[in-house]
Amino acid sequence: MEINKEKLLEMYRGMFVIRHFETKTKELFAGGKIPGFVHLYSGEEGVAVGVCSALRKDDYIGSTHRGHGHCIAKGGDVKYIMAELYGRETGCCRGKGGSMHIADFDVGIMGASGIVGGSIPLITGAALHFKYKETDQVAVAFFGDGATNQGSFHESINLAAIWDLPILYVCENNKYAESTSISSVMRVKTVADRAEAYGVPGITVDGNDVVAVYEAASDAVERARKGKGPTLLECETCRHHGHFEGDSGTYRTKEMVEECKKRCPIKRLGKFLEDEGFATKQEIEDIEKDVEREIAEAIEFADKSPWPKPEDALKDVFVTPYY
Amino acid sequence: MSKREILFVEAIREALREEMRRDEAVFLMGEDLRIWGAPLGQTKGIWDEFGDKRVLDTPISEMGFIGAGAGAAALGSRPVVELMFIDFFGIAGEQIFNQAPKLRYMFGGRMKVPMVIRTLIGAGMSAAAHHSSSAYSIIAHMPGWKCVIPSNPYDAKGLLKTAIRDDDPVMYFEHKMLLNTKGEAPEEEYTIPLGEAAIKREGEDATVVALAWMVHKALKAADTLSEEGINIEVIDPRTIVPLDKKTIINSVKKTGRLVVVDEDHERCGLSAELSAIVAEEAFDSLKAPIKRVATPTVPIPFSPVLEDAVIPNEDRIIKAVKEVTSYKASK
């Protein structure tokens, strides 16, 4: 697959936005600026960016509790996402969703879910809608390895298979379902092996190689757009931080986390860009500086944004007024 | 309007067909809808008219296809999804409890989920504990569901059409003992707004609130009671979310007495909710304590003798009405 400089730099920027957003989120959460629970995406950027780079704006994604990366990669505005994390009126969900429920239908983010596997049936429904309306849009379900043991995964991928729905099931296999090693709760060797049970293609790629993810996702997207049905795409990756902020992380040794950080998808693409002559060190630093400024602005926006009005707690249950 | 009698089950089919003809976004999805036409014939003939595209037979995967219904609705489809029996809601619990009714709120009101779930409720067929629940109280308790519980063909048709046109998730409950009952329903187009109770019979001695099958039992009890000179007012709320509190409260203000007849379980159920509303908003009008005639909080038993022992009947309604109408406060 031909991949040009512009696309590569775009992917570098995309991953760096997520990383820097998460680094700042970690600090802001520790500093008490962000309430609730936070699950950081750092380390897995290659998956969200690789997959979303293969999508159009009018394609839709379903996200997870570890969803900041997906939403940013799909085109969510970091200002409104950060304001949502802060619980402010200007947040993309007006402060009603928070970190685990980010949505922006205008850019194809159908919403993140706080329930493991919870968004998989919903985004499968988006694919059903596309097929019913005879559009050529594609849906992507993001989920972790843990979710592949949920009934929602099994039921949804089976539905998509029998109806040839235009959807990618993208498993971010970071090897741990919360604190539980996936190998202790799954008898088959890879998540992709599960695809055979549904009669769909199952592919495993290195999720920390954004170009590999992009290429595999592009093939699966093309297949889906042509009406040939779903693909299960397993992206092997790892997270730099705990399951949530505050996780003691005792199920992984320090060496394992260090090893994970060495596999960083951003450093890897940066090295590739320099080694292959796609970009100079300066060009990469310029991108990073620009991103740092963008995130700083987003934080300032969130920090200065008003809180929602208490009476708004009763709004938006129904389209009709509350009762 | 023309006078015409149709079966309850025909009213459902007519509403579905009319709405599918009116709006391309409406499609049906569920188990055994095509050849069977749903377990009690609610969708019979619809596949013949609309074909595979508009009538989707699903695998037995309630969580998968109810979630898919909500997802399709979130992008603009208007699916009418069948959950064969309300007893199966636990299988789809994640999507029914956490997703479909919460999405709009969680996402700040920036989207909507115009999905209808049709589901069978009620005892009376010795179908035992997994096919006889009412369970609408559980659904009404969750934020985000509108709940429609019709008692006759006219309401069944008019309310289902409204439910399909509504922009929020609506759970539509079909009582299995009513599907083969007849009633008047005009051929001409009509709809019934959600949140308007029907006064089924006027009376001044006590207010009896009942839904679905229980409306018929309350009306029979009313006939018996009137022979003894006791005239009850029978109110059918028809929808419990939204609930027409005003009609119930105005009636209690007139009669001073309330009996709630509820096929759902008594504990934390609709009967408790209605009693609390009246106690809060019409306390000064009450001449007697509120009485509940509900199904005890036990699984619905199989044997007809046991089933009859727990489901509210005319005798229990009559007894409750006599208790409230003969009540004397002890000073």
State the residue for tokens 């997207």. Answer: A221
The burial of A270, by beta-carbon neighbours within 10 Å (0-12 exposed, 13-18 middle, 19 or more buried), is given as buried
Tell me if domain B5-184 and domain B198-325 are identical in fold. Answer: yes
- Which residues of chain A are modeled with pLDDT < 50? none
- Give the pLDDT confidence score for residue B329 in this predicted structure: 82
SS3 of residue B233 by DSSP: strand
The residue among B99, B54, B17 whose CA lies nearest residue A152 is B99
Token digits for B240?
A: 């419990």
Contact at 8 Å (CB) between B95 and B68? Answer: no
Is B141 marked active-site?
Answer: no
Task: Indicate yes or no: CB of A162 within 8 angstroms of CB of B242.
Answer: no
Strand pairing category for B116-121 and A231-236? unpaired
Which residues of B lie inside 8 Å of A (Cβ-Cβ)? 27, 53, 56, 58-59, 61, 63-77, 94-95, 98-99, 103-112, 143-144, 146, 166-168, 195, 241-243
Contact at 8 Å (CB) between A15 and A210? Answer: yes
Task: Indicate yes or no: CB of A318 within 8 angstroms of CB of B64.
Answer: no
Chain A: closest CA distance from residue B169 (Å)? 9
Q: What are the extents of the domains in chain A?
A: 35-74+96-275
Q: What's the ipTM? A: 0.96
State pLDDT tens for residues A53-101: 999 999 999 999 999 999 999 999 999 999 999 999 999 999 999 999 9
State the residue for tokens 């609930």. Answer: B243
- Give the pLDDT confidence score for residue B126 in this predicted structure: 96
Q: Can you identify the CATH homologous superfamily of domain A35-74+96-275?
A: Thiamin diphosphate (ThDP)-binding fold, Pyr/PP domains (3.40.50.970)
CA distance B309 to B76: 46
Q: What is the pLDDT along chain B (331 residues), one digit of tens a residue?
A: 568 999 999 999 999 999 999 999 999 999 999 999 999 999 999 999 999 999 999 999 999 999 999 999 999 999 999 999 999 999 999 999 999 999 999 999 999 999 999 999 999 999 999 999 999 999 999 999 999 999 999 999 999 999 999 999 999 999 999 999 999 999 999 999 999 999 999 999 999 999 999 999 999 999 999 999 999 999 999 999 999 999 999 999 999 999 999 999 999 999 999 999 999 999 999 999 999 999 999 999 999 999 999 999 999 999 999 999 999 987 6
CA distance A114 to A106: 21
Query: How is domain B5-184 classified at the CATH fold level?
Result: Rossmann fold (3.40.50)
SS3 of residue A126 by DSSP: helix
Q: What are the extents of the domains in chain B?
A: 5-184, 198-325
How many other β-carbons are positioned within 10 Å of the β-carbon of residue A52? 27
Task: Indicate yes or no: CB of B109 within 8 angstroms of CB of A315.
Answer: yes
- Give the pLDDT confidence score for residue B1 in this predicted structure: 57
Query: How is domain B198-325 classified at the CATH fold level?
Result: Rossmann fold (3.40.50)
SS3 of residue B298 by DSSP: coil
Strands of chain B, DSSP E = 5-7, 26-30, 55-57, 78-85, 116-121, 146-148, 170-175, 182-184, 198-201, 206-209, 232-236, 239-241, 258-265, 291-295
Phi and psi at residue B76, to the nearest 5° = 125, -10
Token digits for B248?
A: 């119930």
- Give the pLDDT confidence score for residue A3 in this predicted structure: 86
